[in-house]
Structure 1
Amino acid sequence: MWDKPTLLNWIASLLFALSVVVMLYAALFAVVHLPIFPLREVKVDGELSHVNREQVKLIVAKHLKGNFFTLDLVKARNAFEKLPWARNVSLRRRWPDTLEVVIEEHQALARWGTIALVNTHGELFHAASGSDLPVFYGPGDGVIEVASQYGEFSKILKTANLEIANLALTPRRAWEITTSDGMVVELGRIEMQPRLEKFVSVYSRTIASLNMKVTYADLRYPNGFAVRKPVLVKAEVQAKAIEDKSTDTTTIKPNVSKPSTSKPSNLKPGKTKPTDIIKQQT
């Protein structure tokens, strides 16, 4: 090999080039790690209602290590994404000494039972909220489905001034709504929206104008629906009449039966007694 000057020259040139590259890398590494490029400002943008200044300051102090060049953006983004209300986080360096952070917060739509919150994208997240939110129930893979149907059902019920307090999807994919005034509405597994639209139309024109509170509505009939008569109306009227007729100081206790606090049993089409329901034919 030593008698081949061309090969020796080629090896020497390669070693020289490698040495230059190593020297340049070492010089660059030393320069970027000098304390002459400090990160002086962290700018946080986004429509923030729950992420506060104290949380940001804590993340900056604990997780933003290094200068403008050496800061690990992946680790920094992961730190911000651990905030309970942070859904998406993006980071960007801005020369010469600024880090820009854009945070997209979760928009709470409902509660998922007692374990989590549901955002407007049908995603679960764990955070504390004091807002009065509807409650969803369903199988673990049904979060997006329940959130989507909530929007459709809410639009229909809004025309009758009704709001959803609870929305449940059973493992058999049957739907049940509980309104804010305590009415339970059974929708079944098929044609939920047409059934609900039919009920709301009749409810607005007839039932809503009656001086009574409907506690249960079964919409699973093929050509109509059934509602359960309120149990407490007669007792309440009797108590009020006795109170109005009382003219002395003697205490009169009306013979009013104590209302049951148990959840009404589900009605089954074709097996419900005529005295328990009012059937609306279409």
Structure 2
Amino acid sequence: MSALKWGQGKGKGAAGPALFGLPLSFDHFVLPRLLRRPVRILARLGEGEFQAPRFSAAILSAVLVASSSAYGAYLGGEIDGVVQGITARTGFAVDQVKVVGNRQTSEIDILDRLELDGWTSLIGFNAEAARERISGLPWIEVAAVRKVYPHTLEVRVEEREAFALWQQGDELSVIEKDGAVIAPFSGGSQTQLPLLVGSGAPAKAPDFLVKVEKYPELAARVKGYIRIGDRRWDMRLDNGVTVKLPEDGEDQAIAALVKMDKDDGLLSRDIAAVDMRLSDRVVVQLSPEAATQRQAALNEKPKGLKRKPETKI
């Protein structure tokens, strides 16, 4: 302590410590603990008493070379690759990926968008850029990519909600409730979605399907909703019967159809179509087989009764 309390324990003529010939003595002044050793070394260096550690020149040369290389990589735009290479080989290489929330999107598609190469460092990995790439997949609505140190990536996604299939010509697409196309039809569970056919169908379908779904037994039998001239609907049933609804009063027409089917089994008969476009009548079109049988029955001549002989009085 006495060596650091400059000005104590020395006569007035005693010389205090000096650094490179400059006196550093101050009466009753004590250096902070962190500065004591560096100051001693500098003082010894100024007096010629300090000897550098062995290999110090080699160490300083290595530091100089490494610094120069790092600066050159920075100027050449390769610093990210250097960081990736060093950190990946020191225990931070991504070796596990967790994907949560995907149903329609395959994990392979998500992994492709992460662009991992087997030696990708978690430290240098750009999670935001990966999130943007994953968000570009057709079914993805929201994506989040999180680093879990030392070597795990966690991907969470929320997918868009499928509402129906939309057929335009030969194209069949999966759409959202607002009519936005999600992706081409690919089979699987998508076959359970309602089928919409025709121009303008997606815009009108949400309200119309609510009306049909009030009658679950009828809704379960509908295989396709066909928009005619963007004015009205036809419904194609599972047995091939087509129900032609009017432009106005869809609710009343559907209710009347359900009642006729319940009372008379209309939709289970050998018919091809039920035309409800006229407000004052329902027209039923027979199937080709039923029409042939009916025509044969009409053409058959009825057997005449034998005329009784006249009786004269």
Letter in 1 for 2:211: E
1:87–1:106 contact (8 Å) kept in structure 2: yes
Change (3 A) 1:105 1:213: farther
Q: Hey, what does 2:187 align to over in structure 1?
A: 130
Give the superposition deviation at 1:116: 3.5
Q: Deviations over 1:160-213 (max 9, x none)?
A: 47522221223442111111111111112222122111111111210348x732
Give the superposition deviation at 1:91: 0.9
Is 1:190 the counterpart of 2:244? The answer is no
Match of 1:76 among 120, 123, 130: 130
Structure 1: gaps (5+ residues):
1-25, 240-282
Q: Hey, what does 2:232 align to over in structure 1?
A: 174
Q: 5 Å matches for 1:163-242? A: 163-208=221-266, 212-233=269-290, 235=292
Letter in 2 for 1:80: I
Q: Deviations over 1:244-282 (max 9, x none)?
A: xxxxxxxxxxxxxxxxxxxxxxxxxxxxxxxxxxxxxxx
1:64–1:76 contact (8 Å) kept in structure 2: no
Change (3 A) 1:63 1:112: farther
Letter in 1 for 2:196: F
* CA distance in 2: counterparts of 1:103 and 1:57, whole angstroms: 13
Relative contact order: is structure 1 or structure 2 higher (C-alpha 8 Å, sep ≥ 6)? 1
Q: Deviations over 1:124-156 (max 9, x none)?
A: 22234234454312325x424224423532x24
Change (3 A) 1:172 1:126: closer
Letter in 1 for 2:265: I
1:116–1:125 contact (8 Å) kept in structure 2: no
Is 1:87 the counterpart of 2:136? The answer is no
Match of 2:208 among 135, 144, 149: 149
Is 1:117 the counterpart of 2:176? The answer is no
* CA distance in 2: counterparts of 1:178 and 1:148, whole angstroms: 18
1:212–1:233 contact (8 Å) kept in structure 2: no
* CA distance in 2: counterparts of 1:109 and 1:94, whole angstroms: 34
Letter in 1 for 2:174: V
Change (3 A) 1:69 1:181: same
Q: Hey, what does 1:54 align to over in structure 2?
A: 108
* CA distance in 1: counterparts of 2:199 and 2:116, whole angstroms: 38
Q: Hey, what does 2:96 align to over in structure 1?
A: 41
* CA distance in 2: counterparts of 1:64 and 1:190, whole angstroms: 63
Change (3 A) 1:94 1:236: farther
* CA distance in 1: counterparts of 2:118 and 2:248, whole angstroms: 53
2:95–2:118 contact (8 Å) kept in structure 1: no
* CA distance in 2: counterparts of 1:222 and 1:197, whole angstroms: 13
1:186–1:220 contact (8 Å) kept in structure 2: yes
Aligned-residue CA RMSD (Å)? 3.8
1:173–1:189 contact (8 Å) kept in structure 2: yes
* CA distance in 1: counterparts of 2:131 and 2:118, whole angstroms: 10
3-state secondary structure, aligned to 2:211: helix
Give the superposition deviation at 1:102: 2.0
* CA distance in 2: counterparts of 1:65 and 1:181, whole angstroms: 58
* CA distance in 2: counterparts of 1:75 and 1:60, whole angstroms: 9
* CA distance in 2: counterparts of 1:206 and 1:198, whole angstroms: 12
Q: Report the TM-score, using the length of structure 1 for normalisation.
A: 0.58
3-state secondary structure, aligned to 2:98: strand
* CA distance in 1: counterparts of 2:245 and 2:100, whole angstroms: 44
Letter in 2 for 1:137: V
Q: Deviations over 1:57-113 (max 9, x none)?
A: 3333369996445544443234324445x2323213244243322233455554311
Q: 5 Å matches for 1:265-276? A: none
1:63–1:75 contact (8 Å) kept in structure 2: no
1:137–1:169 contact (8 Å) kept in structure 2: yes
* CA distance in 1: counterparts of 2:161 and 2:94, whole angstroms: 31
Number of residue pairs matched by the alignment: 208
Answer with 121-130 or 194-203: which moved more: 121-130
Q: Hey, what does 1:249 align to over in structure 2?
A: none
